[in-house]
């Protein structure tokens, strides 16, 4: 894909309108890479001047901080902040709510002050501005879709409407799970739980959440977080429903609706 690199732009004396923070999942996880490609394809089509850091991008430090290693977090954060400030970055978009939360709410006390937005918020803005045009009666018209709220997007940053408005713009039949919005149930991956085995209990939390999604009768579970993508996909596989129930990021659905993937 033709994705601009920050260092290349800086070498030409140019600066992008927005920095796309890809994140560890979007860079290295095979499933999440599809979300990255889909979102980059949308950015390319809309003509937004953006760039990624490429090999200069480090992890934000979210998982190590949640796991309790504050020293390691500060080392990683300072390195990222120095890099971002050297490039004069003002605005960042990311497909990962964990990166969003750390960059927006935790880098400030270390000297990193940026406008950080989630990709669903940007997608909603682009739809409202007419830069993303969705055909009436598109491929998703009337399709039954349920949306899973990411904890770091919803309760941590109060972003509930943007992903739903993006889905509604595609004329889908949006059906809510019993626990949604402020009472949404965690997928089980937040707080560095993604990287460890679950404690002993009666049921894994992602199985519980997947069962709620299945009860809606939706054929697609829309997510807006790569961690949620992993946990919900695993839950659907556990129920042996992966052939009939699809788990897709909101950006992937928009890219499909526009014929970009």
Is 117 within the bounds of a domain? Answer: yes
pLDDT at 191: 86
Rounded to whole angstroms, how far apart are CA atoms 214 and 210? 6
**pLDDT band at residue 66 using 50, 70 and 90 as cut-offs:** very high
Structure tokens at 87: 């490039």
Verify that 142 and 169 share a domain, yes or no. yes
Rounded to whole angstroms, how far apart are CA atoms 177 and 175? 7
Rounded to whole angstroms, how far apart are CA atoms 14 and 10? 5
Final residue belonging to a domain, choices 60, 93, 124? 124
Structure tokens at 12: 């030409």
196-250 pLDDT per residue, tens: 888 889 999 999 999 999 999 999 999 999 999 999 999 999 999 999 999 999 9
Verify that 146 and 75 share a domain, yes or no. no
Is 39 within the bounds of a domain? Answer: yes
Q: Residue 187 belongs to a domain with what CATH number?
A: 3.40.50
pLDDT at 123: 98
Region 123-127: what's the mean pLDDT? Answer: 97
Is 1 within the bounds of a domain? Answer: no
pLDDT at 116 over 90: yes
53-62 pLDDT per residue, tens: 999 999 999 9
Q: What three-state secondary structure class fits 218?
A: coil
Verify that 13 and 75 share a domain, yes or no. yes
pLDDT at 136 over 80: no
pLDDT at 131: 95
Rounded to whole angstroms, how far apart are CA atoms 143 and 23? 30
Work out how many domains the chain is built from and give that number: 2
Structure tokens at 24: 């560890």
Average pLDDT across the chain, whole number: 96
Q: What DSSP element (H or E) covers 248? A: strand 246-249
Give the pTM: 0.95
pLDDT above 70 covers what percent of the chain?
100
Verify that 93 and 142 share a domain, yes or no. no
70-103 pLDDT per residue, tens: 999 999 999 999 999 999 999 999 999 999 999 9
Final residue belonging to a domain, choices 106, 124, 142? 124
Rounded to whole angstroms, how far apart are CA atoms 235 and 118? 25
Residue at token pair 């997947």: 210
pLDDT at 261 over 80: no
Is 129 within the bounds of a domain? Answer: no
Final residue belonging to a domain, choices 124, 148, 174? 124
Verify that 108 and 144 share a domain, yes or no. no
pLDDT at 185: 96
Question: CA nearest 41: which of 228, 259, 225?
Answer: 259
Q: Which residues contact 67 (CB under 8 A, 6 or more apart)?
A: 192, 195
166-179 pLDDT per residue, tens: 999 999 999 999 99
Is 53 within the bounds of a domain? Answer: yes
Tell me if 214 sits within 8 A of 245, measured CB to CB.
yes
Tell me if 212 sits within 8 A of 179, measured CB to CB.
yes
pLDDT at 153: 98
**pLDDT band at residue 192 using 50, 70 and 90 as cut-offs:** confident
Measured from the Cβ of residue 227, the count of other Cβ atoms closer than 10 Å reads 25
DSSP one-letter string for 142-203: T-EEEEPPPTTTTTTT---HHHHHHHHHTT-EE---SS-GGGPPP-S-TTTGGGSPPPS-SS
Strands 115-118 and 144-147: unpaired
Sheet holding 91-94, edge to edge: 50-51, 18-21, 91-94, 115-118
Q: Which domain holds residue 55?
A: 6-124
């Amino acid at each position: 894909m033709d994705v601009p690199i920050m260092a290349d732009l800086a070498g030409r004396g140019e600066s992008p309108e927005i920095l796309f923070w890809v994140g560890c999942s979007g860079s290295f996880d095979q499933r999440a890479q599809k979300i990255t490609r889909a979102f980059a394809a949308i950015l390319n089509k809309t003509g937004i001047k953006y760039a990624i850091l490429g090999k200069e991008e480090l992890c934000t430090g979210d998982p190590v901080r949640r796991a309790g290693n504050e020293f390691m977090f500060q080392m990683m954060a300072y390195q990222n902040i120095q890099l971002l400030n050297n490039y004069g970055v003002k605005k960042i978009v990311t497909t990962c709510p964990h990166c969003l939360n750390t960059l927006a709410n935790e880098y400030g006390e270390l000297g990193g002050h940026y406008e950080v937005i989630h990709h669903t918020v940007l997608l909603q803005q682009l739809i409202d501005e007419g830069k993303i045009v969705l055909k009436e009666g598109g491929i998703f018209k009337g399709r039954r879709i349920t949306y899973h709220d990411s904890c770091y997007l919803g309760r941590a940053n109060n972003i509930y409407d943007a992903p739903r408005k993006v889905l509604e713009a595609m004329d889908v039949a949006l059906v809510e799970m019993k626990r949604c919005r402020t009472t949404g149930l965690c997928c089980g991956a937040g707080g560095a739980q993604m990287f460890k085995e679950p404690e002993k209990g009666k049921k894994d939390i992602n199985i519980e959440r997947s069962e709620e999604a299945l009860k809606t009768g939706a054929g697609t579970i829309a997510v807006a977080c790569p961690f949620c993508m992993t946990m919900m996909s695993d839950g659907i596989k556990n129920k042996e429903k992966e052939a009939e129930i699809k788990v897709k990021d909101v950006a992937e659905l928009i890219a499909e609706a526009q014929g970009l993937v």
